[in-house]
């Protein structure tokens, strides 16, 4: 087996390079993609981009070893969440070691896994793989898993059927077999401005928004009350939250616009659109009433993203294999966050989540990954090379 200590050191050095790229979802990830392409090319590994429609971002796919069936996909997203307004005590774009932790945006979510996969390539190449390892790096996971569908389609079209997909979201290097799905929505209410003393001459988008938000708040509480107490998820059942609200221009003007975003997180098999059917009917009712008074006003509900959950597979090949590599004999596990794993499963691939770090550190100021987690990840990659060299 390759030296895991040296592999972990290389992975930490690579993590420093990856963290230095600001790949916040609102921007481009192409500088990081170019870096990964150059890293692969220097090792003699070909790669290909799967670009976004506007060319501003790209997924990346590469194969190490023979392009035959029965390989393993190592999947991870390149984008990170914003640091705006967060009280960081170190530069989020500089990997900062402190004690047994490595601080920086994306260290656990999820550039640590990408760094491990890239650092392990020399070991993969030296192992004489009989089955391939495919690297599948995506964009825009954090804003709705938007890049993965095109990447998965490219895998289906060009890669002989892999045995397993391992999505490296932070799980403490333990196998996770299920995650919730997420559907997110934007609601735009367009009112008619007037002086706030003359409410009969206009319609406030904010006042309509309050009625719709009240419905969602009540629905959220109802869904929490109705959750199955036997659910393995925490929180149990469906959760609904409003994450962003903007509206109005001044206290004495009837608001012309109110915009809010909300998401619904559902266990696998639960249809989020069925859950908000009555909300959409209420929005349509307000839309019609507003338009009857003032043409050009109304309510628009748009779906921003809809990502399926990952359903646990009984005896799933991916989970069994990941547990073997991780030395994991623990209980079955599921997580409440959404990931690209459900999209891979929906395309017919046996899929598991397993990566360094813990979700409790993700999206936080002073995000970090423990050095011990990188070391466990290095051992995982070394065992992966050994297993696929055996065929």
Which residues are designated catalytic? 79, 141
In 10 A of CB 197, how many CB atoms? 8
Dist. CA 124–CA 47, nearest whole Å:
16
Cis peptide leading into residue 284 (ω within 30°): no
SS3 label, residue 258: strand
Asked if residue 256 lies in contact with residue 193, where contact means CB atoms within 8 angstroms, the answer is: yes
Q: What gap in Å lies between CA 73 and CA 16, rounded to an integer? A: 24
Question: 195-204 — which CB contacts under 8 Å span 24+ positions?
Answer: 195/252, 195/253, 195/254, 196/251, 196/252, 196/253, 196/254, 197/252, 199/254, 202/254, 202/294, 203/254, 203/290, 203/293, 203/294, 203/297, 204/248, 204/254, 204/255
Q: What is the C-alpha to C-alpha distance for residues 220 and 238, in angstroms, rounded to an integer?
A: 8
Place of tokens 């087996």: 1
Name the maximum alpha-carbon separation found in the chain.
79
Q: Is 166 left (phi over 0), alpha (psi -120 to 50) or beta?
A: beta
């Amino acid at each position: 087996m390759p030296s895991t200590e040296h592999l972990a050191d290389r992975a930490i050095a690579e993590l420093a390079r990856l963290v230095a790229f600001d790949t916040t979802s609102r921007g481009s990830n192409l500088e990081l993609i170019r870096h990964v392409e150059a890293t692969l090319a220097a090792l003699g590994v070909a790669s290909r981009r799967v670009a976004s429609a506007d060319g501003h971002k790209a997924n990346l796919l590469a194969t190490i070893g023979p392009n035959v069936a029965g390989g393993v996909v190592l999947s991870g997203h390149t984008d990170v969440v914003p640091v705006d307004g967060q009280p960081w005590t170190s530069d989020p774009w500089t990997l900062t070691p402190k004690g047994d932790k490595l601080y920086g945006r994306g260290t656990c979510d999820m550039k640590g896994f990408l760094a491990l996969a890239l650092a392990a390539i020399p070991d993969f190449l030296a192992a004489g793989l009989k089955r391939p390892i495919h690297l599948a790096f995506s964009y825009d996971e954090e804003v709705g898993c938007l890049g993965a569908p095109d990447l998965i389609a490219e895998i289906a079209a060009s890669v002989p059927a892999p045995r397993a997909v391992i999505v490296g979201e932070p799980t403490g290097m333990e196998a996770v077999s299920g995650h919730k799905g997420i559907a997110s929505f934007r609601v735009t209410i367009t009112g008619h401005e007037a002086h706030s003393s003359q409410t009969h001459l206009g319609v406030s988008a904010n006042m309509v928004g309050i009625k719709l938000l009240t419905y969602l708040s009540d629905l959220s509480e109802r869904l929490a009350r109705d959750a199955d107490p036997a659910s393995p998820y925490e929180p149990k059942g469906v959760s609904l939250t409003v994450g962003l609200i903007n509206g109005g221009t001044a206290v004495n003007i009837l608001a012309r616009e109110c915009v809010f975003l909300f998401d619904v997180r559902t266990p696998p098999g639960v249809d989020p659109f069925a859950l908000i059917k009555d909300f959409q009917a209420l929005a349509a009712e307000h839309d019609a009433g507003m338009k009857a008074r003032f043409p050009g006003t109304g309510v628009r509900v748009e779906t921003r993203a809809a990502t399926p959950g990952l359903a646990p597979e009984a005896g799933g090949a991916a989970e069994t294999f990941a547990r073997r590599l991780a030395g994991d004999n623990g209980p079955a596990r599921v997580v409440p966050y959404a990931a690209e794993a459900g999209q891979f499963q929906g395309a017919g691939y046996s899929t598991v989540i397993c990566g360094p770090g813990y979700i409790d550190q993700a999206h936080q100021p002073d995000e970090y990954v423990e050095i011990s987690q990188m070391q466990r990840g290095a051992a995982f990659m070394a065992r992966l090379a050994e297993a696929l060299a055996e065929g």
